[in-house]
Chain A
């Protein structure tokens, strides 16, 4: 079994971060090489990835199952490759560091099965940390970009209309905190 853990700090409130990650399609869009994400239901989705390993680019289909959405701190997931004897699991854990700062830890495991499992794991060992690192860095970029855009759109709080916008934003954040979606 191969495992990697990547941590990053995002300059956004934990609810804003959750507002982004609570949609599995957003996850898929951040995975390097992901070409398609077909959502089957709230827990299951089928991803089509182009994975590059040493000059070889291979299309693989991955069935992803979310075992638990625990807003806004945690997601547990598992996956299996179609046609290849490879399964895996992982978790997303977020913690509030400050009002506008969230620490995120992503852990991913991959496990081959059958007589050739050592081969799958050998190939995964250098690849998995790169994929996880790329994912989490891109996650930070996207969320901070959205947060900055929102801040710019809302503008400084100087008049009554801005005050209403601020109230609306706070209500939306409260809603996300309570119900896990926007």
Chain B
């Protein structure tokens, strides 16, 4: 494909490498490029830095990492590669999987040494499929950052994003060491208050802040409020971008490359429908996640690819908003896996393992070809007063009444069914069957509770005999309608890239000068698989690899690993 040639009369800014986006991918690229002798700058569309990384739980999935090995946990990149490859179900590409796995631990160590990133193993946190498939680790691959002192960001402290969704004043260790979300009444709120007061950031807000600090320490220019409109080519390669800032055009030269790290398209309903095959999707992310990666890379011939994906489920607590003024949506991932809670469709039937989101969510958008309908949507979380008394439901605290407009309450299951339009007897039968499963903590229909990760993330460790089982018997009963929700910007479709993170064209050749990182890139490393912590890790790794290539120091590790493994 012929490269575009749309050079401006003059450049307003110049750098060797230009990162578009200030999540972990864009910042990692800018930092690594700088350290490799190529000057860099970052263009961020929003007024705040940190991107979707800052909204996340901040987990980094890194197989064979040095922290796990130091704890005596047995692991290797080979094992991590086999784990992801098996779960990818052949929808990914082995070389891409291997490339990501072998470089993730190197990138981790690199940023620890260079920017002072402080990570540690999230103890007792298993891989999603531990206990279910080979090469899954019982713990060690999932890392989190130590609290970051945001006061060190200076003027950027208030312009570095935090999350409205996760309690970023606490670490995983702080939360899960005291029984997890199910037992949040046991958390150390004195510690949380101290962290919030002194602005010590944990989780994704902390992870993003480490990288912002790394960029600031290097004097890397960070241009917020700068909306990139198009890529600029010289007829042979991408050499810059045209952006809009304060209503004026800004031409930015990138002599060695542009890194596209703008996340995905979750706030673009059309792309959700036509690329993700997801209808009426609500979102937890901010409005600028609208598919800029496709709009920018499309005109220069970048190829896109899609992997199998799920539709998440979520709910909106009335009165909660994002800073943008949009309604704040919360994921149902955790509360639907708690004891005394199930999910039913309009037939009053369960349709999946509620405690393992990867299992149930594939069923949300199943189409019944016989009737051309979605049999499992709409759907409702159903729970009883035991759940309400013991557990939070999103931001609704244990023991609190559900706010008006969030759900429905009834004295009996039959009445609840009538209120939500679900056949009452069918609902009663489903609850009766589930209550029976609770006797032996065995779910013959959907194998709820078989993933140790489910117990860790969604369960109540103090619930006996099983963290994910508990009967629905105590009135009043509750129903909360669940809505389709995006996967926090982890998309089905993205721009195809090679092992140096160069964007690939429809002619299968690299588009010189254009790199792609994180959720902007097609998930060919994971195929059908998803594993918590992979997205942040691939953003960091992509940024590292793109910078190395752009700075003239491309990694040759993949070639060596392919030879070693005989792939």
- The stretch that binds B, out of A48-56, A92-100, A149-157, is A48-56
Asked if B192 and A59 make an inter-chain contact with CB atoms under 8 angstroms apart, the answer reads: no
- A160 proximal to B (CB < 8 A): no
Asked if B196 and A126 make an inter-chain contact with CB atoms under 8 angstroms apart, the answer reads: yes
| CB neighbours of B397 from chain A (8 A) | 114, 116, 119
Asked if B164 and A55 make an inter-chain contact with CB atoms under 8 angstroms apart, the answer reads: yes
User: Given B168, B196, B322, B403, which contacts A57 in the complex, CB threshold below 8 Å?
Assistant: B322
- B184 proximal to A (CB < 8 A): yes
- B319 proximal to A (CB < 8 A): yes
| CB neighbours of B445 from chain A (8 A) | none
User: Given B190, B196, B322, which contacts A118 in the complex, CB threshold below 8 Å?
Assistant: B190
Residues of chain B from 307 to 330 with CB closer than 8 A to chain A in the complex = 319-323, 325, 328
Closest residue of A by beta carbon distance from B320 = A58
- B169 proximal to A (CB < 8 A): yes
User: Given A52, A115, A116, A122, which contacts B196 in the complex, CB threshold below 8 Å?
Assistant: A122
| CB neighbours of B192 from chain A (8 A) | 119, 122
User: Given A50, A55, A125, which contacts B162 in the complex, CB threshold below 8 Å?
Assistant: A55
- A168 proximal to B (CB < 8 A): no
- A182 proximal to B (CB < 8 A): no
- A70 proximal to B (CB < 8 A): no
Chain B: interface size category: 20 to 34
Given A122-B169, A122-B192, A85-B321 contact (CB < 8 Å): no
Give Cα A58 to B396, complex, Å.
12
The distance from the CB of A128 to the nearest CB of chain B, in whole angstroms, is 10
The distance from the CB of A181 to the nearest CB of chain B, in whole angstroms, is 35
Closest residue of B by beta carbon distance from A129 = B197
Say whether chain B's binding surface is mostly helix, strand, loop, or mixed. loop
| CB neighbours of B162 from chain A (8 A) | 54-55
Give Cα A125 to B189, complex, Å.
11
Asked if A85 and B400 make an inter-chain contact with CB atoms under 8 angstroms apart, the answer reads: yes
| CB neighbours of A56 from chain B (8 A) | 164-165, 320-322, 328
Give Cα A55 to B163, complex, Å.
6
| CB neighbours of A122 from chain B (8 A) | 169, 189-190, 192-193, 196
Give Cα A35 to B409, complex, Å.
30
Given A55-B161, A55-B322, A56-B164, A121-B193 contact (CB < 8 Å): yes
Give Cα A44 to B175, complex, Å.
40
The distance from the CB of B566 to the nearest CB of chain A, in whole angstroms, is 48
Given A54-B196, A55-B161, A125-B196, A118-B189 contact (CB < 8 Å): yes
- B51 proximal to A (CB < 8 A): no
Residues of chain B from 328 to 367 with CB closer than 8 A to chain A in the complex = 328
The distance from the CB of A123 to the nearest CB of chain B, in whole angstroms, is 7
Contact with A along B280-297 (1 / 0, CB 8 A): 000000000000000000
Closest residue of B by beta carbon distance from A61 = B319
- Tell me how many residue pairs across A and B have CB atoms closer than 8 Å: 78
Contact with A along B176-193 (1 / 0, CB 8 A): 000000001101011011
Asked if A126 and B197 make an inter-chain contact with CB atoms under 8 angstroms apart, the answer reads: yes
Give Cα A56 to B161, complex, Å.
11
Give Cα A118 to B192, complex, Å.
10
| CB neighbours of A55 from chain B (8 A) | 55, 161-165, 322-323
- B401 proximal to A (CB < 8 A): yes
Given A54-B164, A56-B164, A123-B196, A116-B185 contact (CB < 8 Å): yes
Asked if B189 and A54 make an inter-chain contact with CB atoms under 8 angstroms apart, the answer reads: no
The distance from the CB of A47 to the nearest CB of chain B, in whole angstroms, is 14
- B399 proximal to A (CB < 8 A): yes
| CB neighbours of B319 from chain A (8 A) | 58-60
Residues of chain B from 361 to 376 with CB closer than 8 A to chain A in the complex = none
Residues of chain A from 15 to 53 with CB closer than 8 A to chain B in the complex = 50, 52-53
Total chain A interface residues with beta-carbon distance under 8 A: 23
Residues of chain A from 78 to 130 with CB closer than 8 A to chain B in the complex = 83-85, 114-116, 118-119, 121-123, 125-126
Given A54-B168, A56-B164, A83-B403 contact (CB < 8 Å): yes
Closest residue of B by beta carbon distance from A51 = B319
Contact with A along B191-214 (1 / 0, CB 8 A): 011001101000000000000000
Asked if A115 and B320 make an inter-chain contact with CB atoms under 8 angstroms apart, the answer reads: no
Give Cα A125 to B190, complex, Å.
10
Give Cα A85 to B403, complex, Å.
13
Asked if B161 and A57 make an inter-chain contact with CB atoms under 8 angstroms apart, the answer reads: no
Give Cα A168 to B397, complex, Å.
57
User: Given A60, A114, A115, A125, which contacts B197 in the complex, CB threshold below 8 Å?
Assistant: A125
Of A54, A56, A60, A115, the most chain B CB neighbours within 10 A belong to: A54
| CB neighbours of B161 from chain A (8 A) | 55
| CB neighbours of A123 from chain B (8 A) | 193, 196
Asked if B320 and A116 make an inter-chain contact with CB atoms under 8 angstroms apart, the answer reads: no
Contact with A along B515-543 (1 / 0, CB 8 A): 00000000000000000000000000000
The distance from the CB of A156 to the nearest CB of chain B, in whole angstroms, is 44
Give Cα A113 to B399, complex, Å.
11
Closest residue of A by beta carbon distance from B191 = A122
Closest residue of A by beta carbon distance from B317 = A58
| CB neighbours of A59 from chain B (8 A) | 319-321
Asked if A126 and B193 make an inter-chain contact with CB atoms under 8 angstroms apart, the answer reads: yes
Asked if B164 and A116 make an inter-chain contact with CB atoms under 8 angstroms apart, the answer reads: no
Given A116-B185, A119-B397, A57-B321 contact (CB < 8 Å): yes
Contact with A along B384-406 (1 / 0, CB 8 A): 00000000000001111101000
Asked if A115 and B189 make an inter-chain contact with CB atoms under 8 angstroms apart, the answer reads: no
| CB neighbours of A58 from chain B (8 A) | 319-321
Residues of chain A from 122 to 163 with CB closer than 8 A to chain B in the complex = 122-123, 125-126
14 extra interface residue pairs, beta carbon distance < 8 Å, beyond A55-B55, A59-B320, A126-B197: A52-B323, A54-B168, A55-B163, A55-B322, A57-B320, A58-B320, A58-B321, A116-B399, A116-B400, A118-B187, A119-B184, A119-B187, A121-B193, A126-B199
| A-B residue pairs in contact (CB < 8 Å), sample of 20 | A55-B162, A55-B323, A56-B322, A56-B328, A57-B164, A57-B325, A59-B320, A84-B400, A115-B185, A115-B399, A116-B184, A116-B185, A118-B187, A119-B184, A119-B185, A119-B397, A121-B193, A122-B190, A122-B196, A126-B193
Footprint of A on B, CB under 8 Å?
Answer: 55, 161-165, 168-169, 184-185, 187, 189-190, 192-193, 196-197, 199, 319-323, 325, 328, 397-401, 403
Footprint of B on A, CB under 8 Å?
Answer: 50, 52-60, 83-85, 114-116, 118-119, 121-123, 125-126
Q: Which 5 A-B pairs have the closest CB atoms?
A: A56-B164, A118-B189, A55-B164, A122-B193, A59-B319
